[in-house]
Structure 1
């Protein structure tokens, strides 16, 4: 029998657990001024919510197991990878300008709290007493959300290019984001199946439908905030700068390196051109074979297939011209 904690939907208890985890992690990180547990606390928070609601709900039907385990496996992978990455780098550059500011740093943790709580809603409600009271076994469909898209992104690409060209990464520049979006939409579809039960109360049915905010939130986050925007244009800009600097090295005699100055290799001058070819050949999100993708009209690529201008660095833009001016001024100093 399900265990009721504060309310029949586990909304309050999951929020309070998340608040406690994120508040403690924030205080530790702010006091010690480090980033070792910043992202780890987010991933582990997902795991804890899925586990606690599954155990308290006391309903171990296939839908509950699959949805909860999918979240826990995803959380382990995410938390483990992000912890390994920050330990290897020593710090997270994203927080350099806010780490010492209590309110700005705290705002990040508040956002992380809402991210975890909102995105976890489908599993939270699915495992809650109001839904667990329905004893019929649902039909479990192949949503592909149970780790089918937990790709490994550690492969060798073209020399000098920061790209991966093996496995599904050959067909998509960001299959990890595609898999994450698909995962949460799959979990929501699995959850919403319970709304078809004739014995469910109207308020519970409305709450199940409202959990669609979870996949919508994660989709918006990855498409417009912390996903593609941070993974696309900054990389393109960096390669453009390296290529332009390399061209200057070939045309302008290089003076001795000053302390802290980066050594520029002349062979890097083609990086930007190579990367542009890679962009034209590879889908930004949806896994599509390269030859098929190249045959698709540009109008479809830049609309339905999400290769939007917000993700592209324009070498003819004012921003690019300013970068060129700064590079040339630095070379003449």
Structure 2
């Protein structure tokens, strides 16, 4: 029978596990000013929660196993890749301005606690006693419905897109022969400016759909069913974080700033203006998130591009942002 711990949805125990794990990582990272475990701690936390709830819930039906394994596979891939990347680069530039500030650095780890726990909710609730008790009392719930298949296919496509895009970007940045005066525009990156984010969104939407599928031939309580539907906060939160938090905003304008300085900064050469024109052409033909053929996206009117999430907040203003960038580079 499932282990009952604090509440029947495993919300409290998984939050406590996440807080303990992340604060342990913060203590190490802040004490030793050590960047290399930040993303490793975040990614591996997903693995811990999926495995812990599966074992504690003791409901080894196909859906529980598949959903938990898919989460663990995603966690191993993202944690392993990010850990490998930071080992190669030597440090994480995101923390250069906050690494020595206790409260600002702690703020990142608190945000990571929320990210891990909220995004893991579909599999936490699926494996919890609120669902497991009903499953133990009834027959083995059917698995392989059209909804199950849709969830698995979405996850698989997202996983392949995210992993492939990360590998393509890493090879591009690591190569000594690729031009550094223009952004990557090959492979998946020719169709989207942020394909790993799109893949990650697909992964967690697929996990929620899979975990929402009917879990028994009988019925679950109304509160349990509401919790399963409520776990849609997982893909929604993923979308919000990537589109308005540490995802696109963190990369869009800083990337534009880098190419603007190549064109007009103190060290710009005679070919500088061409660098900026090439970058603007790249923006015109490349979708910000949803992969689309460049020949199609380039011809779309501005209002359609906005509907496809290319918001003005991501755009580099040549007058205002450009002036600030040049002043900062010159100081």
Structure 1: segments with no counterpart, 5+ residues: 249-262
Kept after mapping to 2: 8 A contact 1:2/1:57 = yes
1:72 aligns with 2:67: no
| Partner of residue 141 from structure 1, selected from 149, 155, 168 | 149
- Contact 2:257 2:325 survives alignment (8 Å): no
How far off is 1:110 after superposition?
1.4
Work out whether 1:301 is the aligned partner of 2:301: no
Aligned pairs (5 A) from 1:1-333: 1-132=1-132, 133-134=134-135, 135-138=140-143, 139=145, 140-143=148-151, 144-146=154-156, 147-153=159-165, 154=168, 155-156=171-172, 159-194=179-214, 198-245=218-265, 265-302=269-306, 304-316=307-319, 318-324=320-326
- How far apart are the structure 2 equivalents of 1:325 and 1:98? 23
* Aligned CA distance change for structure 1 residues 239 and 69 (closer, same or farther; 3 Å): same
- Over aligned residues, Cα RMSD in angstroms? 2.2
Compared CA separation, residues 136 and 195, structure 1 to 2 (3 A): closer
Per-residue CA deviation, residues 283-328 of structure 1 (Å, 9 max, x unaligned), is 11001111121222221002x1111111110213x2323434566x
TM-score by length of 1: 0.86
Q: Distance in 1 between matches of 2:235 and 2:193?
A: 21
Secondary structure, aligned partner of 1:17: helix
Native 8 Å contact 2:182 2:275 kept in 1: no
Please state how far the C-alpha of 1:204 moved relative to its aligned partner: 0.7
Distance 1:167-1:125 versus aligned 2 partners, 3 A rule: same
Listed as ranges, the gaps of 5+ residues in structure 2 are: none
1:86 and 1:100 map into 2 onto residues whose CA distance is: 19
| Count of paired positions | 311
Kept in 2, the 8 Å contact 1:131–1:204? The answer is yes
- Using the TM superposition, give the Cα deviation of residue 264 of structure 1 relative to its aligned residue in structure 2, in angstroms: 5.1
Structure 1 pair 25/296, CA: closer, same or farther in 2 (3 Å)?
same
Q: After alignment, is 41-50 or 83-92 more displaced?
A: 83-92
Task: Write the deviation string for residues 187-240 of structure 1: whole angstroms up to 9, x where unpaired.
Answer: 112222237965100111111122111111111100001000011111001100
* Whole-angstrom CA distance in 2 between matches of 1:310 and 1:286: 17
Larger mean CA deviation between 218-227 and 93-102 belongs to: 93-102
Find the structure with the greater CA-based Rg.
1
Q: Secondary structure at the match of 1:306?
A: coil
TM-score, normalized by length of structure 2?
0.86
